Structure 1
Amino acid sequence: MIDIEGLTCRVKERALVADVTLGVRVGEVVGLLGENGAGKSTLLHCIGRLRKPSEGQVRLDGVDVWKLPARTVARRVAVLLQDPPPVVDMAVSEVVALGRLPHAGLFGGVNGSDRLVVERALASVGIEALAEEPMDRLSGGERQRVMLARVLAQEPDLLLLDEPTNHLDIRYQLELLSLVRARGCAVVAALHDLNLASAFCDRLVVMRGGRVVASGTPADILTPELIRRAFEVAVSIDRHPFHDRPRVSFDAASPLPSLDMSA
């Protein structure tokens, strides 16, 4: 459904993302891994049409997203940004209802069926009791769940998540990723937690210096050598007792020197 081909994004002479080619199928959860500054957020912004690439294309069902009407893209692609937007003077339900605007009719506004979608989105992230609360009274974790409910209310075919578990405790991290996986849409998520990525992603893509340096299943990617090269840390890998996917344990006492991923 989503094809990224030769995507490069430059600021002045610096390539934040360089020559990325990637495909994502319906129902697939793809995790983007990499150290800070690797290009994960920029890639998500380019996929979601928040930033125009310098070169290459992002195609939605074979059509360049920059040749589609913005409203069409907004109906099908939703983006949850890494940092929650500034607190606004709106109730929680009003913020979540913003996710329905791409689907609104000629005169805009939220109708009865839209309200049902909003109510389901609020319930799905466990904040239905906060529906009438003003946003400025919420904690960071609660605001993050509001923004997730907003993108779920958008009912997208493609969901782009930039560090979606920021500000969430362990319970809500697990619930959020379980919920996203159960939606059945295509998902691309930038994640820092390698064990969450292992548990919830079908495929992992490792970025370094704006380039894709490795791609494969969690078992392919989460190896001591690849993690050592990508993150410059020593790890041990075993199998998780609950889901039997790779589990990463870090040796915090053994920092490693910088390594060349191309070696």
Structure 2
Amino acid sequence: MRTTVRVYWRLLRAGFQRQSAYRLAALGGLVANTTFGLLKVAVLFATVRAAGGSLAGYDVGRMGTYVWISQAMLGSVNLHGRTDIAERIKDGRVAVDFLRPLDVQAAEITTEVGRSLFALIPRGLPMIAIGAVVGMAAPESAAAYPLGVLSVLLGIVISSATAYLVGVAGFWLVETRGLQVCYMVVSGFLAGLFVPIQLFPRWLLLVAHASPFPSMMMYPIEILSGRVGLAGALALLGAQLAWLAGVGGLGQALTRAGRRHLEVQGG
């Protein structure tokens, strides 16, 4: 057990260190996040003011919190659907992964989470600092901070686990770039990247809640912004855990089915 934990810890560190090599890319991401964050502030603040100062429970302060936390999480939450497993399936290297004494899904997700955690340093924290200067509303309860951090971590893991599903579709599709594009469009919209999902029509809001995407970004924002109380925060955390279990179980099933398919095709 201790050896297994040590191995996954090293995979987490390897993912973190691998992403830290791309420092100029992180700087470029920070500039892009800041630019789009300021654009979103201008548009959404004007929308709130035009609605009389409150829109779906968002005033200017809470809308600012939404904007800057979503921008802070953008580099760490996998909403683009790209994963290493897709390439390894395409070129056949996944056969070597199956020979290793590690769970293929767990190893892939752990490495991806390590890369995502690094992005919080050069891109996430500066976004929060900029938001504090531009204008953000602080939560009324101090419990929102530890619960929010836990929710952010769960959101990162859920996004990695869901993107893994796109990658393992390569066992049947071989080329997954088209699926990745569809995933990127749908996930960003339903996760609340562009506007809070509370602004959606009711039918679309129900569609969003019936998917894992709000668990990646919108639920952590709701908790960190203090829009939900302690009971609401615990309910959102419970929903995240449920989605993680569901997506993780589906990933296990697809990995086993894909392995059988790969063996049949490979002879």
TM-score range, shorter chain: under 0.3
Normalising by structure 2, what TM-score? 0.27
Higher helix proportion (structure 1 or 2): 2
Higher strand proportion (structure 1 or 2): 1
Normalising by structure 1, what TM-score? 0.27
Q: Which has the higher contact order (CA 8 A, sep 6+)?
A: 2
